[in-house]
Amino acid sequence: MAVLLELDSAWYDYAPDIPALAGVSLTVAAGERVVILGANGCGKTTLLKLLAGLLFPQRGRYRAFGREITEPLLSRDSFGVFFRKEVGVLFQNVDAQLFNPTVEDEIAFGPLQLNDPPGDVQRTVRESLDRFGLRGLAGRPPFALSGGEKKKVALAAMLAVDPRVLLLDEPTAGLDPRSSRILVDLILEAQALGKTVVTSTNDLHIVPEIAGRVVVFGEDRRILASGTPEVILQDRAILRTA
């Protein structure tokens, strides 16, 4: 499979001498299903922000879709719009990405920014509401929803623009088992459609279902191990270390 995303010796510091990522190199192929494991604070969220073009390596480089990703490049209309459309992000705290007055408006926001025809936007909203079981919540404000409902709305809004890459930060964190199951099923559905999915999680029980490859981060903010779910999840020494 062709490489779609590539970090090469990427460093990122939030403060001097306190690296959030310390020389990380990682490739993700088109259609691949990668799960990122590691303790809180090991750099999982920072990694996803770099892949999403929300942060940029302070040393090293990041390539996606055959281009080196930089802040000036993403500020250009043509490639910036292409990149933002093709790379969807689900934050761990979805309150940070829900800002429209109603669920219906939230789902419509992305397609409207891409200047989709009004009829297509309406059809996308209807299909998304049905697909995610949100029809009864269409007119409600997102801030008034439960945690599981908010995550479904955020995921529906992200998928409304049909991105090629999904970056999911702790998608099942804080959810009850039923809501967690719904989210996992939605991830599996996206994978079945050929999406490239990178998921950070601490819920080890979902990893065998959603991962084709597992990447383990150590607390030194470097990659400690990479392999199939079967190999990684049976290596207790690596999991204890991480």
pLDDT tier, 183 (very low <50, low <70, confident <90, very high otherwise):
confident
For every residue of 144-197, DSSP letters joined together read GS-HHHHHHHHHHHHHTT--SEEEEESTTTT--HHHHHHHHHHHHHHHHTT-EE
Distance CA 218, CA 36 (A): 11
For residue 133, the model assigns a pLDDT of: 87
For the ranges 19-33, 54-68, 78-92, 178-192, which has the lowest average pLDDT? 178-192
For the ranges 71-80, 138-147, 211-220, which has the lowest average pLDDT? 71-80
Distance CA 91, CA 97 (A): 7
For residue 220, the model assigns a pLDDT of: 92
Q: What is the pTM of this model?
A: 0.93
For residue 29, the model assigns a pLDDT of: 96
Task: Tell me the average pLDDT across 201-213.
Answer: 94
Distance CA 71, CA 80 (A): 9
pLDDT tens for residues 26-44?
999 999 999 999 998 899 9
For residue 178, the model assigns a pLDDT of: 82
Mean pLDDT score across all residues of the chain: 93
Task: Tell me the average pLDDT across 45-49.
Answer: 96
pLDDT tier, 216 (very low <50, low <70, confident <90, very high otherwise):
very high
pLDDT tens for residues 95-124?
999 999 999 999 999 999 989 999 999 999
Say if residues 240 and 39 touch (Cβ distance below 8 Å): no
